[in-house]
Structure 1
Amino acid sequence: MHHYARSRAWCEWEDFAQWPARALAMLADPGEQGRLPPFHLLSLPGISAADQRDCADQWMAARLAASADERALLAREFASTDLLAAPGPGPATRRLRIGYLSCDFHQHATALLMVEMLEAHDAADFELHAYSHGADDGLGMRQRLARCFAQFHDISGLDDLQAARAIHADGIDILVDLKGYTAGTRTALLTYRPAPLQVSFLGYPGTLGGGFCDYLISDHFITPQDRAGDYSEALACMPHSYQPHGRSMALPPAPSRAAAGLPEQGLVLCCFNQAYKFTPAMFDIWCQLLAQVPGSVLWLLHSDQAEGNLRQEAMQRGIAPHRLVFAEDQPHAAHLARLQLADLALDTSPYNAHTTASDALWAGVPLVTCAGETFASRVAGSLLRAVGLPELVTHDLVAYAALAASLATDPARLRALRLRLAALRVHAPLFDVPGHARSLETLYRAMWARHQAGLPPAALSLS
């Protein structure tokens, strides 16, 4: 799979059409099962949520088998401490202890999404613990995040067994994994069951499989109830969107177009997703839009590996390579400032924009998305609904292309849409961090109440 991962990151698409069939063949081959990383399936077209669950189940089954003796040892050890005794009423005077597990407690997309929500948690009823297995990048976010927690635990020097013991010894009630099968993950730590309840939230847009995680924080658009069987976790659905995004950061003034490397005139279409999310079919549509709107440009995130290949792909589609403009990575505030220069954001499918989408909406840039059937393919649709623009959600690439073209070729309609977004975003549920924190706390309480009553995890909903 190394070749595939590199090809996606570099936008080397020569054999792209063969990859979905190859992935499905690996899932069906007993000799290959457990070798396909679940993350690789998120950006492949033609892969269902059920396929993604099969992959996650196989991936984790292989690793559970390898750690069976260690897990049995810890299960006996934890039971002997009586900290995880049979469900029953907990200490009436103690706050609910929530542990957040991640390597991204620094200037990272997950931290940027979560920090205001963590700051809004009710400290009277919830005692927050961070379990960090990542380095501090020195940019200040670690210190801001640390103030949100009763205790900030650095477990980077502990192996999974030691970390599980530490989490268990802290008496964590609900352990929330913020990574899933993404880079730097230590999700396998959850297989040791250090907490009575374990939750997947925000970092991984899909099921973890394996049956070791009790709940997945989602919403009804992303995971409709009739698709619950595609997830090994019980679905805990927020009332609007599962994704938090603060509104406390005021938008900095936009730079000039010249300062951002953009032409002074012409429509600016943008997609700041990572290049591995791009597909040939989506790039076809983007180039068609460029052909339809003279003088327009497509603004993308700089990638040393993909940039040359994308320019070549544009040329093959009849688009001059200079009409692709690549933006260097910038600090978040500077990125939000320049984002305001875009006229229309174009989403990727089947792996949508996530943080990138909510940033665009906060910057006042409308986004057109194509919602599929998987978690990763429905996130932008959830965000658009939560900001009050459900009409920008399409459900196939033909409709996506048509909607994008109708907006790109109608300046008056696009201006009206931007004005509407500017008015909506001030009060939209998508950016209501206190409301999001209260809803999440309500879900945590409901999970814990079921546990105390001796009931298994079950679907929870606040809407």
Structure 2
Amino acid sequence: MCEWDRLDEWRAKMRDVITRKEAGRVSPFHLLSMPGMGASEQRSCADLWMQDRIASSRMQRSHLDFAFSPKDKAKIRIGYLSCDFHDHATSLLLVELFECHERDRFEVFAYSYGPDDGKNMRGRLKKCFDRFLDIQELSDVEAAKQIYEGQIDILVDLKGYTSNSRTMILTFRPAPIQVNYLGYPGTLGGNFCDYIITDRFLTPLASAADYSEAFAYLPDTYQPHGRRCPIGTRPTRSDAGLAEQGFVFCCFNQAYKITPEIFDVWCKLLTNVPGSMLWLLKNNKAEGNLRNEACKRGVAPDSLIFAEEKPQSEHLGRLALADLVLDTFPYNAHTTASDALWAGVPLVTCAGATFPSRVAGSLLQAIGLPELIATDIDGYYDLVFDLASSPERLSQIKAKLDANRLTTALFDIDTYTKNIEKLYATMWQRYLDGLPPSIIQG
């Protein structure tokens, strides 16, 4: 809701819970967007969140008699676990990866515990898998049994501690190898996932102690994004609710990612770039608060324009009206960042020390635009202001982005799929060799 008056108080309360090691009090997800929380605190919070839950599942697990005998096989069986196998950002990122999996080497299963929304994406996803299993009516134990009976070799969780997740299924250990991937930008703690799929920019080797999982490094970026994402017709500025003249700063991240510190920067930019406007995603709960916060900072409330949610192709089409996308901190843009880059709009980010604060930087590295990554808030402001004040430099950046879109790693889904399959194959071979999970250099 962008009600920030008690933010410092809540941060102190969260930190106190972690310091006192009070189990299950604070959801790890809430720490990701809380300014000032480090990766070590995020791990401690995840461990505490799962402590009692794992103890509970351990008693049940002793009766399940899940046993695994390593043996070589022609095809590795991958199981993807999620409630987002429908028209959702995670599936929009993953669908072309699923379609590209090499079926001579892998069998691919979906374990879905989310709704069927009846849209085209659901049908497309069902065609991607060798088997698509709906487990939403099953209990966690029953779901774990079904995964075990399906003889899944590598179970890949796509949710973590995001909304409607069923992380408890993994605590029963229904597969010999379990992987944390994409849906949650941080460690799950609790030592029930063996690997986290990442890249060297996101999680440098020096940060390994902040994760319960071993790093499985992709060579470029951890995020997949295909090339069959149609970009709709560009509307007029008037149709999008934008003024006909003036520089358009844009951020379509969810409101919970907007913090006072980053909003200070945005308002300073609106003040110092005459005629500029800030284009945000509509949120009925946050809109009034953000307008009030703008007023407090001396910015006219109507400088903030709120956009309705649109289907993906329409959304990508309207993004072309933005001059520059502004990232949030410490929880960066994820899908919204790669969408902007796919639509040809540059993005400026500030990279911190935690996984969620480095995602947009990972994407910019993979598309050959590291010059758009700032390392602190002051540098972020300076970089954005320079681009907004220099049409020639911004034009050069846009031309470079246009040239790099289809020639760099970010949107090369075929190569990305081969690389993640190499990680899966290495995980499996280590298991066959009797070796514990360890860092995999992709």
TM-score by length of 2: 0.99
In the alignment, is residue 101 of structure 1 matched against residue 81 of structure 2? yes
**How many residues end up aligned between the 2 structures?**
442
Structure 1 runs of 4+ aligned residues shifted over 3 Å read none
Deviation at 1:189, TM superposition (A): 0.4
**Which residue is 1:29 aligned to?**
20
1:57 to 2:47 alignment: yes
Question: Any idea what SS the aligned residue of 2:93 has?
Answer: helix
Residue by residue, what CA displacement relative to the aligned partner does 1:333-368 show, whole Å, maximum 9, x if unpaired? Answer: 110000111000000010000001000111111111
Question: What letter corresponds to residue 215 of structure 1 in structure 2?
Answer: Y
d(CA) in 2 for partners of 1:63, 1:205: 21
Report how far residue 57 of structure 1 moved.
Answer: 0.5
| Contact residue 231 and residue 314 of structure 2 kept, 8 A | no
Q: Determine whether 1:327 maps to 2:318.
A: no
Question: In structure 1, what residue type is equivalent to 2:264?
Answer: D
> Partner of 1:435 in structure 2?
415
Match of 1:13 in 2: 4
Q: Distance in 2 between matches of 1:72 and 1:235?
A: 29
Aligned-residue offset at 1:413: 1.1
* Residue identity (%): 57
- Measured against aligned partners, the alpha-carbon deviations of 1:82-109 in whole angstroms (never above 9, x if no partner) come to xx12x3x323xx3110000000000100
Counterpart AA for 1:13 = W
Answer yes or no: is 1:220 the counterpart of 2:211.
Answer: no
Deviations 1:364-403 (A, max 9, x none): 1111101111100000000000011001111110111111
Match of 1:70 in 2: 60
Amino acid at match of 1:353: A
TM superposition score normalised by structure 1: 0.94
Structure 1 unaligned spans of 5+: 1-9
Listed one character per residue, the Cα deviations across residues 145-190 of structure 1 (whole Å, up to 9, x for unaligned) are: 1111000000001001000000000110000000000001011100
Matched, 1:390 2:393: no
Partner of 2:426: 446
State the 1:410 CA deviation.
Answer: 1.2
Q: Note if contact 2:57-2:172 (Cα within 8 Å) is conserved in structure 1.
A: no
Is the contact made by 2:23 and 2:50 (CA closer than 8 Å) also made in structure 1? no
Residues in 1 aligned to 2:81 and 2:37: alpha-carbon distance in whole angstroms: 29
Letter of the aligned partner of 2:102 in structure 1? D
**Partner residue of 1:5?**
none
For residues 304 and 71 of structure 1, what CA distance do their matches in structure 2 show?
44
The yes-or-no answer on 1:159 pairing with 2:139 is yes
CA distance in 2 between partners of 1:18 and 1:393 (Å): 31
Q: 2:319 aligns with which of 303, 328, 339?
A: 339
Distance 1:194 1:377 in 2: 32
CA deviation vs aligned residue, 1:293-349 (integer Å, no higher than 9, x gap) = 111100000001000000000011111111100000111111000011100000001
- 1:45 matches 2:45: no
CA contact (8 A) 2:250 2:324 kept: yes
Among 357, 361, 381, the alignment partner of 1:377 is 357
Cα RMSD over matched residues? 0.9
Q: 1:123 aligns with which of 103, 109, 131?
A: 103
Unaligned stretches of 5+ residues in structure 2: none
The 8 Å contact of residues 58 and 172 in structure 2, kept in 1 or not, is answered as no
| Separation (CA, whole Å) in 1 of partners of 2:230 and 2:43 | 40
Q: Distance in 2 between matches of 1:244 and 1:273?
A: 19
Question: How many Å separate the matches in 1 of 2:247 and 2:327?
Answer: 16
Output the amino acid matched with 1:419. A
Matched residue, 2:232: 252
* Matched position secondary structure for 1:78: coil
Q: Find the counterpart in structure 2 of residue 6 from structure 1.
A: none
Distance, in Å, in 1 between the alignment partners of 2:181 and 2:374 is 25
What is the rounded CA distance, in whole Å, between the counterparts of 1:410 and 1:17 in structure 2?
A: 37
Alignment of 1:459 onto 2:439? yes
Aligned equivalent of 1:184: 164
Q: Deviations over 1:242-299 (max 9, x none)?
A: 0001112242221111111111111000000000001001000000000011111000
AA aligned to 2:330 is P
